[in-house]
Structure 1
Amino acid sequence: MPRIIPFKAVRPTRDKVSLIAARSYDSYSAAQVEARLRDNPFSFLHIINPGYKYDKIISGKERYTLVKNRYQEFKEDEIFIQDEKESFYVYKIVNRDGLVFHGIVGAASTQDYENDTIKKHEDTIEYREEIFKEYLDTVGFNAEPVLLTYPDNDEIAAFIAEVIKERAEYEFTTTYRDTHYLWKVDDSSILKKISGIFSEMDTLYIADGHHRSSSSCLLAKYKKSKNENHQGDEPYNYFMSYLIPESDLKIYEFNRLVKDLNGLSKEEFLIALDASFRIENREQEYYKPSKKHHFSMYLDGDFYSLYLRKGSYEINNALDALDTQILYTTILAPILNITDVRNDKRLDYSHGKKDLSYVKSVVDKGEFQVGFGLLPITTEELKKIADEGLKMPPKSTYIEPKLRSGVTIYEF
């Protein structure tokens, strides 16, 4: 019984939302960050990069405190205003590729995360969890929702369809040519109904935001330990989420790039691959795999198709059947000696929106020696991994929609 509740969001004024909304900080180059901080005084980047004001790189607790200060200044200047009523927020995104995403912004329970009612498919890194927990504890808000997905539901679909007939509270297009729409719903009877529909579902799944949700769970435990009057309904027991139906989820693959062949010649490498794969040289044909357990490889100016040999690989669970795991088990670890896929500097990743032409270009430049192309993982595969309590290899999925920070803010 997932618990999804409305909340009083802190939001930008309508005239400034397009200026404030920002992508994830890591998605900007240093030059892009500099340009936005220099030219746009309302960018949310000013809040999360407060050292810019002092022309100084600031980190740790000092930075977190300054983030809180900048955020409070935006509120004092009435750039951000908190809604008076608890609300759900219907959020629609039309991206530049024409994909349309519809969902609801609400608050999800950390208890549901802890008891696996909200299921995970990725491992988290403990030190990153702790760092972000400390950050949240200092600043006191979530600014970017965790992306959750739920089984398609006719009642929620009908609710969203009715809401979006009205004029949106926000409608703005980003420089990435994605258009965002937001509607506020604060009718108490409707809020109760929507919460009730979610509570009847068996499970929700994290699509994107594993570290944000796990850090929120750590924060809730910490706050509980410090609060003698803990009741369980305090705001710190929830984290902001954007819930979309499974049919709206768009999953791209992450291709793999490797800097060297672990001391092997090209011929020795191909012979080693032959033990597990049927190999065909496609020469200049841009070969993209069309079936599970088929892979593309670009090596020394040629594309190759790699088909996993039947009987050469044993599948015992959902993880074994995952192409990213197969690539690791048959090539990266035993042949290329890449055993720590999270930290090995010889391995890099390229999400599928960049396609195989990017893989070809960086190999041709000599930045990498070989590249591998994969098929995207499906939503069903993602769910099976989570249902079996397993974890995908890192960079197994590149998931859209990608959300903006600063459009709705959840305080705790």
Structure 2
Amino acid sequence: MTQQLTLLSPSGERTLVELKEAPDFTRPAAPLRSRVAYAAAHVVPRTAGDNTPNAPADIDWDATLGFRRNLYSWGLGVADAMDTAQRNLGLDSVATRELIARSAEVARYSGGALVVGVNTDHLSDVSVSLATAIDAYKEQLHFAEDHEAPAVLMASRHIARAADGAADYAHAYREVLQSASQPVVLHWLGEAFDPSLAGYFGSREWQFAAATVISIIEENVDRVSGIKMSLLDAAAEVYLRERLPNGVRMFTGDDFNYVGLIGGADVPVATQPDIDPSSERRHSDALLGAFAAIGPAASVAIQALDADDPARYLEVLAPTEELSRQIFSHPTYFYKTGVAFLSWLNGHQPAFQMMSGQHSSRSLPHLSRIVELANAANVLEDPALASERWQAMLRLNGVEA
């Protein structure tokens, strides 16, 4: 007998849809080749912990690190201690350092690729001098390096407040990059993810900010391995991608348009921005929060590119983009709720909980739409378990099937 899912509309109307069978996805037999792909992983709180607003993070380390091992088993890398791990929204500086240290150990034992976020968010003052912010960046960078974890230099709220134009950004990044012992990944995070970062790199106009980014990279090209771009603007990403120096990767952080950006010239997509035929930059690699939500599908899609099968790539990955757009819908910075919700539905954590109570940041109809789209996109890893957990959550909230 076909199982059905109960869905809930914003008006309170209940509908039923057919529950799909588990996806027939297979883990890769060899490392992924055609794209470099990192899933920005979330953090699982301890169910009995006091993970209320402003409380120190109380982390379920077994579930948190188990989730990372699962991503590695699918051939994906892990981007840790990033926004998806609730930096500035529950993950305090003490927990951040422990997460980096533990995650680095798991990566070493698992043979997995890891990058970790470094920032200035351990500073207690909201506003500091540019010099103080630079020193804070260096402190976190050196901690990551001490644990043999390659760094992603995350966009900093302190730098955004202290910098007075593009020259200050160039100075700050020059100072930090020259102190790095190995190349790092830069991060351009748009204000949809964090309104306090508006005008980052010295301008609210992305073309002017892009010129500053290119200048920073060209000046420090031996210290920059790539840049993660999270503006949710595919055309802006392609523009910058085509102008990067040789050897510097573009990691898409565009959770709205990743199918075309990762597929690139290998996978014609109608909504994809034009790619300059003369450009050597034919695609973006990936560093995505969305990939934490759809890890097996992301792996299988890249396996298809490895096998020179763009049709299979689109078959698997294209349906996930509407799901990702729902997870990352306005206000975008609450996307972590959707990632944790899918983790719970897929059996990777014992409860739908988040640090600082962030699991309450999305409505029941919003979560219902995630369930609907996850089912349609074939990313419910154990559909029967997902249905059981979703139905229990509905009943808990007074909604009967």
Q: TM-score range by the shorter chain?
A: under 0.3
**Relative contact order: is structure 1 or structure 2 higher (C-alpha 8 Å, sep ≥ 6)?**
1
Larger radius of gyration: 1
Q: Which has the higher helix share?
A: 2
TM score, norm. by length of structure 2 = 0.23
TM score, norm. by length of structure 1 = 0.22
